[in-house]
Amino acid sequence: MAFKLKYKNLQGVVKELRAAVKAHGKQADTIEKHIEDMEDSALNFKGANSKNSKCWPGCKKVGTKPSPSGTGEIVNDCDCGDKYKG
């Protein structure tokens, strides 16, 4: 009788282990997708400059200028008229 009880417990353990493998596989897939998304995120953004950015919608590029933040980058000089003034 004791042997049957242990056997049933082992079958339950096997079922739990198989379910855990599936669950962990799904979790790994989710995390892997998140990593891929992060590669293109703002975390990897190296800063806007005149080569990799455009003016805001409705604004017109009128030239380039040194970045006002003092980073040494050359950024777009955009004319937005009164569109974005407070």
Q: Is residue 56 part of a domain?
A: yes
Q: Is residue 29 part of a domain?
A: yes
Boundaries of domain holding 19: 2-42
* Same domain, yes or no: 6 and 38: yes
62 in Cβ contact with 43 (< 8 Å): no
Q: Is residue 86 part of a domain?
A: no
Give the tens place of pLDDT for each residue, 26-39.
Answer: 888 888 888 777 77
Q: Is the pLDDT of residue 86 over 50?
A: yes
* Same domain, yes or no: 26 and 11: yes
- Enumerate residues 6+ apart whose C-beta is below 8 A from 44: 38
* Same domain, yes or no: 34 and 61: no
Q: Which of 65, 33, 26 is nearest to 48 (CA)?
A: 65
Give the tens place of pLDDT for each residue, 18-75.
Answer: 888 888 888 888 888 887 777 766 656 666 778 888 888 889 999 999 988 888 889 9
